[in-house]
Amino acid sequence: MSDMDTLTPDICVIGGGSGGLTVAAGAAQLGANVVLVEAEEMGGDCLNYGCVPSKALLAAAHAAASAKSAGRFGITFQPPAIDRLEVAKHIAGVIGGIAPHDSVARFEGLGVTVIRDRAVFAAADSVIAGGRRIVAKRFVIATGSKPVVPPLAGLDQIPYLTNETIFACTDPIAHLLVIGGGPIGVELAQAQARLGAKVTLVEMARLMPKDDPDLVDFVRKALGADGIDLREGTGVVRVEKGTDGIVVHLARNDGATETISVSHVLVAVGRRPNSDGLALDNAGVQLSGAAIKVDRRLRTSNPRVFAIGDCVGGPAFTHVAGYHGGIVLRNILFRLPAKVNPDIIPWVTFSEPELAYVGLAESAARARFKDVRIEQLDFDANDRARTERRAEGRIKLVLRANGQILGVGIVGPQAGELLAPWCLAIARGLKLSAIAGLLLPYPTLSEISKRVAGNYYAPRLFSVGVKALVRGLLKLP
């Protein structure tokens, strides 16, 4: 190629999802020359197929569930009528409202050169995209992930849904089979059940197998209350077209088998890093399985190339990709040795009740420390939760004996919002006393955090020694 066909930016970002856009916008606004390469939708999975549409769907499902459950307040509605076409329009409208923030026009306005094509590495210092050679000082791979499609017999012979297709579904769903009981499967199963579908949820292990079983129990109970037929310890052997829908052959871990008929199948068994098609060998970038191998500074085996977000494996969350983007900006632009701290990463499953975590789970904490303590409190101890009749839930603290906060899990109403002060406490190394000493308004759900923290100190505060001290002080004039 001629020199006219060559771009020489400071940074070339490959992927226009959350992480890539964070790097591109930040670098451009800090004065760097940036090229952004994106072959598909700007905004990536989060905007188009993940966080945004799923939460818009969940909002619609919550509205339907609220109408159905209003009788607990002495208010009765007619059974809600579900117009799936209007639900789909609602989801599309939410995406459309957010899309300009992630658009080509916005990034070109920031000075970013946007190329709508796939990037292929030609050498350690260059990629080809859009008919041009891009020779950059640094590259940032932010290609995200895609749904895993399991090697299930017959799956290629039936129409099936993933999180990339279900939000545009406007057909009535009579009976949905959800394969996978992780966060995506749980959220979509509950949403579809609340929108009138019969739902069977199949999970080979236990429901939400990566989460704290004590807290998952609350979600399990809620799914049952929504009428979901939950099959734990059960796998799908094969699927096939039937005379009236899709025939699904199930096998339990104890050896029992069963056949059911459904109208739709949703595959939600996990996600796989997008690393194919980049010709990473040409750049000397190593993989670990499908994931791009990086160190804690998010550097690949090629010192020119960084990788962030889902494509490096690990937690596949939008906020993690954004966090990674900030780490990379500090490394590239300011030459600071910023590193990822996995112990401060929060995550939320937006079921009802929500299930939220930050820091170490109890099992991980006990493997690392010998003095782990647990303090927990149910939501029925919170007056605001009682007034709203949403008292099913629990907050669980994982602590060291000195009050160091190792991890926090919350299952209950607005658990994701209630997690915020705990995220701050863990990230800044605050002791539990910082939460116990807060002055919070009454009645709020947030009081549960202050109360569970105070409970940890109560045995010491009301101990024999402290009582003796008080008696002695009371004798003073």
* Overall domain count for the chain: 3
- Asked, for residue 169, whether it belongs to a domain, the answer is yes
Quick one: pLDDT at residue 465? 85
What is the CATH number for 457? Answer: 3.30.390.30
Beta bridge partners, 354, equal 412
Q: Which residue reads 């995220």 in tokens?
A: 423
Same-domain check for residues 14 and 138: yes
Quick one: pLDDT at residue 417? 98
Same-domain check for residues 140 and 244: no
At which of 269, 290, 310 does a domain end? 269
d(C-alpha 247, C-alpha 310), whole Å: 34
What is the CATH number for 29? Answer: 3.50.50.60
- Asked, for residue 246, whether it belongs to a domain, the answer is yes
d(C-alpha 295, C-alpha 297), whole Å: 5
Same-domain check for residues 257 and 392: no
Contact between 405 and 373 under an 8 Å Cβ cutoff? The reply is no
Same-domain check for residues 25 and 133: yes
- Asked, for residue 476, whether it belongs to a domain, the answer is no
Sheet architecture: strand order including 346-349: 346-349, 354-359, 405-412, 394-400, 372-378
At which of 320, 342, 364 does a domain end? 342
* The one-letter amino acid at 118: R
Quick one: pLDDT at residue 257? 96
Q: What is the pLDDT along the chain (477 residues), one digit of tens a residue?
A: 445 489 999 999 999 999 999 999 999 999 999 999 999 999 988 999 899 999 999 999 999 999 888 989 999 888 889 999 999 999 999 999 999 999 999 999 999 999 999 999 999 999 999 999 999 999 999 999 999 999 999 999 999 999 889 998 888 999 999 999 999 999 999 999 999 999 999 999 999 999 999 999 999 999 999 999 999 999 999 999 998 899 999 999 999 999 999 999 999 999 999 999 999 999 999 999 999 999 999 999 999 999 999 999 989 999 999 999 999 999 999 999 999 999 999 999 999 999 999 999 999 999 999 999 999 999 999 999 999 999 999 999 999 999 999 999 999 999 999 999 999 999 999 999 999 999 999 999 999 999 999 999 988 777 788 788 888 889 998
At which of 269, 284, 314 does a domain end? 269
The pair of structure tokens assigned to 269 is 């068994």
d(C-alpha 60, C-alpha 310), whole Å: 28
Q: Which residues of 382-399 are buried (b: 16+ CB within 10 A; e: fewer)?
A: bebbeeeebbbbbbbbbb
Quick one: pLDDT at residue 80? 87
- Asked, for residue 83, whether it belongs to a domain, the answer is yes
d(C-alpha 402, C-alpha 415), whole Å: 26
Same-domain check for residues 249 and 203: yes
The pair of structure tokens assigned to 447 is 């009081």
Quick one: pLDDT at residue 466? 79
Q: Please, what is the Cα angle at 338 between 333 and 340, to 5 degrees?
A: 130
- 173-198: pLDDT as tens digits: 999 999 999 999 999 999 999 999 99
Contact between 349 and 355 under an 8 Å Cβ cutoff? The reply is yes
Same-domain check for residues 54 and 104: yes
Same-domain check for residues 191 and 61: no
Same-domain check for residues 295 and 251: no
| Residue 57 CA to its chain's centroid (Å) | 15
The pair of structure tokens assigned to 409 is 């899990």
Specify the 3-state DSSP secondary structure of 293. coil
Question: Can you give the residue range of the structural domain that contains 205?
Answer: 155-269
Contact between 17 and 45 under an 8 Å Cβ cutoff? The reply is yes
Same-domain check for residues 256 and 304: no
- Asked, for residue 470, whether it belongs to a domain, the answer is no
Same-domain check for residues 229 and 138: no
Please give the helix or strand (H or E) that residue 295 lies within, else none. Answer: none
- Asked, for residue 348, whether it belongs to a domain, the answer is no
User: Cβ–Cβ contacts within 10 Å for residue 366, how many?
Assistant: 15
Region at 315 (left for phi over 0; alpha for psi -120 to 50; beta for the rest): beta
Q: Which residues contact 219 (CB under 8 A, 6 or more apart)?
A: 186, 207, 208, 349, 351, 353, 355, 411
Same-domain check for residues 64 and 108: yes
Same-domain check for residues 362 and 397: yes
- Asked, for residue 471, whether it belongs to a domain, the answer is no
Helix axes 51-69, 183-194, angle to 10 degrees: 40
- Asked, for residue 475, whether it belongs to a domain, the answer is no
